[in-house]
């Protein structure tokens, strides 16, 4: 049997994903330092409400509250023994909300990074990473997640390990990286490199793309990088609602619902299929995005100039793709080619 997400992708030319998890949970009283995953068991009503925010705003899919639900992250709270349980419950609550929606809504099991650095510099090995992701995947599967949703990854090794875990769990998956450093991921991966990496995997994702990162404008540039790589795989765009600003002791994201509506349509026009938000994206942003995607005609493929005009400037001059690979250093290069 195919999963809900696959069926949605076959019948629709755009899908609305969800918005922020953290920002919404903090508004519901999560205190910082507390791992959100514990709320799956301690406050299931609030997690159901979080999922409902997305469903009520018109989202076709939402991510489960399991981003930090791997053994390495949970260990920071001495909860590494609860991986299976916390992930299963995250998906179970999601299943219940999705099944009551009255329309097909996919429950996507969120899998975030381990936070560890790969050997030789760090402690993480491929085997360890696969084991951790697999443990999490089995919990999400048991709870009824339709697919795995690997997100905010920066190392290609970690992306591959998550793909292998999805295979071991026998689940379809989607995967996104966070491009937050001069248009690349922290580990230097470009949009073109991710597009090429996914095709080399033995079990490529249903869809791939970018989430989080800097602002909506940078995220759009990354999406356009995927498109110009010639990929035919559905592309995911999940950008932050602008950039966080500090005002008189509190913080807010500067992206308005109207701006996020523009961003959603630009992302669709650029070639993205699954469009959502990330940090700072509240229900009102999602509603504006749904409204914009439902009512506005498709436009021509935007140029980089269109993006900066509507969404603001990029954080760096280049993103390491295209004819201008960005700055480089002349090397004596006697030891290495």
Partner 1 sequence: MADEDDIILSELDDEELVQQMHDDLYDGLKEEIEEAVNILVERGWTPYDILTKALVAGMTVVGNDFRDGILFVPEVLLAANAMKGGMAILKPMLVETGAPRMGKMVIGTVKGDIHDIGKNLVAMMMEGAGFEVVDIGINNPVENYLEALEREEADILGMSALLTTTMPYMKVVIDTMKEKGIRDNYLVLVGGAPLNEEFGKAIGADAYCRDAAISVEIAKDMIARKHNQMGA
Number of residues this chain uses to bind partner 1 (CB under 8 A)? 42
Closest to partner 1 by CB, 103 or 250? 250
Judged on CB neighbours under 10 Å (0-12, 13-18, 19+), 49 is: middle
Q: Which two tokens stand for residue 73?
A: 């992250």
The reply to whether 174 sits in an annotated binding site is no
292 binds partner 1 per the rule CB under 8 A: no
Q: CB under 8 A: which stretch of 58-66, 174-182, 230-238, 287-295 binds partner 1?
A: 174-182
Radius of gyration of the chain (CA): 19
List of long-range contacts for 197-200, beta carbons under 8 Å, 24+ apart: 197/156, 197/159, 197/160, 198/231, 198/233, 199/231, 199/233
Binding to partner 1, residues 32-51 (CB under 8 A): 32-33, 35
From candidates 44, 58, 104, 115, binder to partner 1 by CB under 8 A: 115
| Alpha carbon distance 316, 330 (integer Å) | 21
328 binds partner 1 per the rule CB under 8 A: yes
200 binds partner 1 per the rule CB under 8 A: no
331 binds partner 1 per the rule CB under 8 A: yes
| Alpha carbon distance 8, 146 (integer Å) | 12
78 binds partner 1 per the rule CB under 8 A: no
Q: CB under 8 A: which stretch of 199-207, 225-233, 290-298, 315-323 binds partner 1?
A: 315-323
φ, ψ of residue 315 to 5 degrees: the values are -85, -15
Listed in sequence order, the residues at least 6 apart from 75 whose beta carbon sits closer than 8 Å to its beta carbon are: none
Residues that bind partner 1 (CB under 8 A): 22, 26, 31-33, 35, 73, 76-77, 115, 117, 120-122, 154-155, 180-182, 184, 186-188, 244, 246, 249-251, 316, 318, 320, 326-329, 331-337
């Amino acid at each position: 049997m195919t999963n809900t997400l696959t069926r949605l992708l076959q019948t629709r030319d755009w899908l609305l994903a969800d918005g922020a998890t953290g920002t919404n949970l903090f508004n519901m009283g999560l205190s910082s330092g507390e791992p959100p995953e514990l709320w799956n068991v301690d406050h299931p009503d609030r997690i159901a409400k979080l999922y409902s925010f997305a469903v009520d705003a018109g989202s076709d899919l939402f991510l489960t509250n399991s981003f930090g639900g791997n053994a390495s992250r949970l260990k920071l709270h001495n909860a590494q023994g609860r991986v299976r349980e916390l992930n299963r419950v995250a998906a179970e609550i999601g299943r219940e909300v999705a099944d009551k929606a009255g329309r097909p809504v996919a429950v996507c099991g969120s899998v975030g990074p381990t936070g560890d650095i790969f050997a030789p510099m760090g402690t993480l090995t491929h085997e360890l990473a696969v084991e951790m992701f697999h443990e999490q995947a089995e919990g999400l599967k048991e709870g009824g997640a339709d697919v795995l949703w690997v997100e905010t990854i920066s190392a290609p090794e970690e992306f591959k390990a998550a793909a292998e875990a999805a295979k071991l769990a026998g689940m379809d998956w989607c995967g996104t990286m966070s491009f937050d450093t001069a248009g690349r991921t922290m580990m230097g991966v470009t949009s073109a490199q991710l597009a090429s990496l996914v095709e080399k995997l033995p079990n490529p994702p249903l869809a791939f793309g970018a989430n989080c990162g800097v602002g909506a404008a940078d995220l759009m540039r990354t999406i356009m990088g995927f498109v110009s790589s010639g990929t035919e795989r559905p592309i995911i765009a999940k950008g932050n609602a602008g950039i966080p600003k500090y005002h008189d002791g509190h913080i807010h994201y500067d992206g308005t619902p109207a701006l996020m509506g523009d961003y959603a349509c630009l992302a669709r026009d650029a070639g993205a299929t699954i469009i959502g938000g990330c940090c700072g994206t509240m229900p009102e942003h999602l509603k504006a995005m749904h409204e914009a995607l439902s009512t506005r005609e498709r436009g021509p493929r935007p140029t980089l100039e269109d993006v900066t005009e509507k969404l603001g400037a990029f954080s760096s001059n280049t993103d390491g793709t295209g004819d201008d690979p960005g700055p480089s250093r002349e090397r004596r290069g006697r030891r290495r080619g």
